[in-house]
A and B are shown apart, each in its own frame.
Chain A
Amino acid sequence: MTTVSDPTRTSAGVGVEKWLRMYRQMMAIRLFEENVNELYTRALMPGLAHLYIGEEAIAVGVCEALRPDDYVTSTHRGHGHCLAKGASPKLMFAELLGKEAGYCRGKGGSMHIADPATGNLGANAIVAGSVGIATGAALSAKTLKSGQVAVCFFGEGALGQGVLYECMNLAQLWKLPVIYVCENNMYTEYTHFSETTAGDIPARASAFGVRAETVDGQDVRAVHAVATDLADRARRGEGPAFLLCNTYRYRGHHVGDINREYYRSKKEEQQWLAESDPIKNFAEWLKSQKHADASTLGTIDSELRAEMDQAVKFAVGAPYPGADEVDQDVYA
């Protein structure tokens, strides 16, 4: 059942407006993350920052194939998923800085953005920690006949966790509307995935009878096409799917991971940047198809830059939670 997605299966039913929206969403994530990098290096952001730069086509390609009320779960590298599902940069930055105005009143931070309004069940800092949650959300959708789909984003590091296979087995047994999206950015922290991953990745899913697909994670059109198919299929009651997206983490494991040559070469990084940047390549395609010219895209970029500047300003100026917040919401 393992198939490599057909690169020609990319444009059916997608109009210019949608393409431009995808461009905007990808660029929003890129600029958001560049601001995170800046905030972190200026010591304005506490904790850790795991940047999604380079992987934008996956979050956007998948989330643009979903309904607003569909569920997603995310990871420690989760800003992209949250934004692609509709989160506001303002409330995201506020959360990243630990401010009360943030999505989680400052109590979750970068690795735990959650937002019921956009179907975001939460980013999770335990690798594969949200697999059960996403599968459970799919069980609710099926039981309550809501027509919703749940998408579980995780990196290839999660392939090492047994709970993933327990849940895929359950999802296939019960034909649950859940899509497991594996973002293989090639590095499990500081270790190449080939050192941690035996055998064929999609075959692990297809062994359960789960529909498995592989796609170029740098190609937003390809990701969107296959995600649309898988979401439609799940909504029709045809069961779960596993989508392997091959991609690359342009930056370090976290912002402080600067000297990376002990685990990957500069040459490799430069090659990915030069040949496989999802935003640059998509912009070229938009121009080649006359869907947009340089000035249209430039306008989007500058609008987003202004929005991000304002969002950062809001978050930096926002107050921290009061001391009385510390023991609120331990119990419902």
Chain B
Amino acid sequence: MTAASVESGLRGAAERDKLARARMLRGLLPALSLVLVLLAIAWLNPRAISYFGFSLMLNLAIPIALATIAQMFVIAGNELDLSIGTFVGFVGCVTATWLKDAPLIGVLILLGSIGVYALLGALIHLRNLPSIVVTLGMSFVWQGLAILVLPKPGGKAPDWLLSLMAFKPPLIPFPIIAALLIAAVVHFGLMRTSYGVILRGSGGNAAALERAGWSLLRTKIVLFALAGLFGVLSGMALIGITTSADANIGNGYTLLAIAGVILGGGEFVGGRVSPIGAVLGALTLALAASPLLTFMHIPPDWQVAANGAILIIVLAARVLISRRER
């Protein structure tokens, strides 16, 4: 063993150490930014830090978290879904009309729409189409269908859904329990099961997976179907809170969902995503964009710009930290 090799070995260990630290920091960042936003809210409006306050501030974060998880599945497979927002709106319209008046048909429509998502995955894989183009096109299809189902705002959520979303468990507010549940279930499914590894691998190294004998068509179909499933859950949760629907209700979710995934430690390519991070990211975005801004008393002319500025600051902090890994 020469001095040089010892030195390089040492340097390697130091590098590894630095990398591990940066990786840990990246893992902690979503939680850190959420804590930071919560502290700011607590300082601006102590009244909000209460059972009632959390129930109100976070209940609209649940549909955002679900839409973010949907987007996360698509991003895990190196694709991007620009239609998730209008899809959530479409599901909302079906929930407020068919699902209440004719539950069986409603369920069939929603299952069918998940099927459409799965088919989209197959189409994108088989024809090697860019997912951005396909899903952008689909966003207009979903929007059009939503207007067909509900030409004027209205409809009413089914009673069981209303009572579910208004559920008040003792001690811990419902939105927090729901967020924990979503994060735990998806984390287990995607990070801890063997097929979850295959799914992420299809985005990380597709060629290797294919050579090992796994069907990439199947992984893509499964990822898109999961996105559709969580999109449906998001739309239903949203209508359970708002009680009534509007064809444009979900349009803002497309970009929020993408930002939530990235804020939660995901990457656009390489199958690197984190379900827990995505849920935390969605909660952070929901809190930073609305309650924080409202509590800061920014003049109306600047509110719109401030909303965007907060988004950029939060995402920039995330990029700065992940750059240290390289």
> Do these two chains interact?
no
Q: Identify the A interface with B (CB < 8 A).
A: none
Q: Identify the B interface with A (CB < 8 A).
A: none
